[in-house]
Structure 1
């Protein structure tokens, strides 16, 4: 089991690193490919677009196939498409290869989230998900510095390194991960998109995804303009802002490792309620801190709380319907990417309109309050709390 946890951790780390990698390289690639600023963002956005669009297809497909084979195939394609980014000769080839990398990631990451509840006993699922989510947190903390360091050798080296590492992970999955053939329930829908029907018909599922969207909407809005706010308020350079991002990622990592213990101590309902309330207050207060050091500490604390809550949300979503976990994980990926896109757009509008970060902090607080209300009224948290109490009483 430890080998599986380590392997899934590394898969999420490499996918997360690839996601964040392009950010510090945009100025270099923009100059090299002679791309105007308004178009340069597509070298990042094409990856998210590919992941969001194809996640809706990859999940239902994987629920009807051996999940191990989908994971191996996704990693191989991810390795090739990411390595090809290092051979891009102009803006459009880079956009194409980033799009293909995003599509490959859409077939890879959801299999990891769906594999954990399949391969691990119920008592260990929460802890395992926390460790796997820590892989994303680690990539957020160290993906940008690692990418920048490798890019100092040559801009293409980070893409080649990630490609080779992903290929090695594909080989490890083929060797160590057992087959995960589909669980077919009687009368299970065979059509790809009909697999979403049970989720669309369930009030708890609709509420869970709406709440998940609101969480990412608020947190993405604040993250999108972190760099600009740091530069405007504290006059930090790009590399100095990178140190703040490291604190942010470390908080996320610590929170994800603490998640299972905190949820066990408080139960899911209390954990979510306390976490959302704390985050809402923190986001409102954040724009008013007086030094960059305090801001870094505040972000560490905020993402520590988010690191505790996100594995709980993944657990809740995976428990909605055990027969379509790939569909569930893929829909959560698309929901997250859609919220990230909307959050960045809203943040830009608010920052420009109100000339500052305070409006973004208030927007994030409102988004989190809405998320908590939806979680509570959907009833899914009460179900999770009752399940936790029943396990504790056994």
Structure 2
């Protein structure tokens, strides 16, 4: 079990690192390929676009296949396409390889979330989810520094390193992960659209996904314009802003590692309510802080809370329907990407038109309040608490 926890941590780490990897390389790649600033961002967007679109397809397909085979194929394709990025000869080939890497990630990451409840005993599921999410959190903190350090030798080196390491993980997974054939019930839907029907027709599922959407909508809005606010308010240079982001990643990592222990101490509903209320209060106060050191501490605290709550949310989503966990995980990925895109758009309008970052923080607080109310109204927290109590009593 321990080797699988380590494997899932590393898989999520390489996928998360690949997401952030290209950010510090943009100026170098812009000069290398002779492209304008306006279109340079497409090299990032190609990856997220591929991941968002194909996640909707990958999940339902994987529910009818052996999850181990899907994980191996996705991880191998991810390794190859990431390595190919290092051989890109122009802007369009880089976009193509980034798109392929995003598509591969869409088939790989959901298998991690869907495999954990199938492979681990109930008592260890929350811990395993927390460790896997910690891989993403660690990549958020270390992805940019890793990319910058490796790129000092050659801009291709980061892609080759991440791709090569991913291939080693695929080989390790082939021996460490047991087969996970589909366990669809008799008469279960077989087409892609039909596998979404149980989620669309369930009020509990609709509420849980809507609450999950509002969490990402608010948190992504606050994150999108953090750098600009730090520059406008505290006149920080780019490298100092990067240190703030490092604090966010470290807080997220700490929270995700502590999540299973917090859930043992508090019930799911209590954890969600306490965490959300603390987040709302923190975001409302944040714009009026006058010290950059306090801001770093505040964001470390905020992302520690988010690191505690997100594994809980993933667990709630996976509990909705055990027979279509791949579909659920993939829909969660698409929900997150959609919320992130809209959050950045809303934040831009609010920051420009109204009271700068204060309006963005207010928007985030409202989104988190809506999320908490929807989580409580959906009944998923009550069901999860009763399930935990019955297992403890048994």
1:303 is aligned to 2:303: yes
Is contact 1:145–1:242 with CA below 8 Å preserved after alignment? no
The aligned counterpart of 2:208 is 208
The aligned counterpart of 1:79 is 79
Q: In structure 2, how many angstroms separate the alpha carbons of the residues matched to 1:324 and 1:29?
A: 40
The aligned counterpart of 1:114 is 114
The aligned counterpart of 2:341 is 341
Q: In structure 1, how many angstroms separate the alpha carbons of the residues matched to 2:95 and 2:386?
A: 47
User: What is the CA-CA distance between 1:34 and the residue it aligns to?
Assistant: 2.7
Deviations 1:116-164 (A, max 9, x none): 0000001110111111110001101111111111111111111110000
Deviations 1:241-271 (A, max 9, x none): 1111111111111111111111121100011
Q: Secondary structure at the match of 2:55?
A: helix
Q: In structure 1, how many angstroms separate the alpha carbons of the residues matched to 2:39 and 2:207?
A: 36
Deviations 1:211-257 (A, max 9, x none): 00100011111111111111221222222111111111111111111
The aligned counterpart of 2:219 is 219
Q: In structure 1, how many angstroms separate the alpha carbons of the residues matched to 2:275 and 2:208?
A: 16
**Structure 1, 106-115 or 380-389: larger mean CA deviation:** 380-389
User: What is the CA-CA distance between 1:25 and the residue it aligns to?
Assistant: 1.4
The aligned counterpart of 2:248 is 248
The aligned counterpart of 1:31 is 31
Q: In structure 1, how many angstroms separate the alpha carbons of the residues matched to 2:151 and 2:193?
A: 41
**CA RMSD after TM alignment:** 1.0
Task: State the TM-score, normalized to the length of structure 2.
Answer: 0.98
Q: In structure 1, how many angstroms separate the alpha carbons of the residues matched to 2:74 and 2:27?
A: 29
**Structure 1, 87-96 or 181-190: larger mean CA deviation:** 87-96
The aligned counterpart of 2:376 is 376
User: What is the CA-CA distance between 1:37 and the residue it aligns to?
Assistant: 2.4
The aligned counterpart of 1:132 is 132
Task: State the TM-score, normalized to the length of structure 1.
Answer: 0.98
> What does 1:1-394 align with in structure 2 at a 5 Å threshold?
1-354=1-354, 356-394=356-394
Q: In structure 1, how many angstroms separate the alpha carbons of the residues matched to 2:210 and 2:41?
A: 27
**Structure 1, 177-186 or 286-295: larger mean CA deviation:** 286-295
Q: In structure 1, how many angstroms separate the alpha carbons of the residues matched to 2:271 and 2:20?
A: 29
User: What is the CA-CA distance between 1:352 and the residue it aligns to?
Assistant: 1.5
Q: In structure 2, how many angstroms separate the alpha carbons of the residues matched to 1:23 and 1:250?
A: 19
Q: In structure 1, how many angstroms separate the alpha carbons of the residues matched to 2:355 and 2:90?
A: 36
**Structure 1, 286-295 or 68-77: larger mean CA deviation:** 286-295
Is contact 1:269–1:385 with CA below 8 Å preserved after alignment? yes
Q: In structure 1, how many angstroms separate the alpha carbons of the residues matched to 2:195 and 2:333?
A: 16
User: What is the CA-CA distance between 1:276 and the residue it aligns to?
Assistant: 0.8
The runs of 5 or more residues in structure 1 that have no matched partner are none
The runs of 5 or more residues in structure 2 that have no matched partner are none
Q: In structure 1, how many angstroms separate the alpha carbons of the residues matched to 2:243 and 2:16?
A: 18
Q: In structure 2, how many angstroms separate the alpha carbons of the residues matched to 1:36 and 1:291?
A: 36
Q: In structure 2, how many angstroms separate the alpha carbons of the residues matched to 1:92 and 1:232?
A: 35
**Structure 1, 21-30 or 65-74: larger mean CA deviation:** 21-30
Q: In structure 1, how many angstroms separate the alpha carbons of the residues matched to 2:232 and 2:278?
A: 26
Q: Secondary structure at the match of 1:357?
A: helix
Q: In structure 1, how many angstroms separate the alpha carbons of the residues matched to 2:65 and 2:205?
A: 23
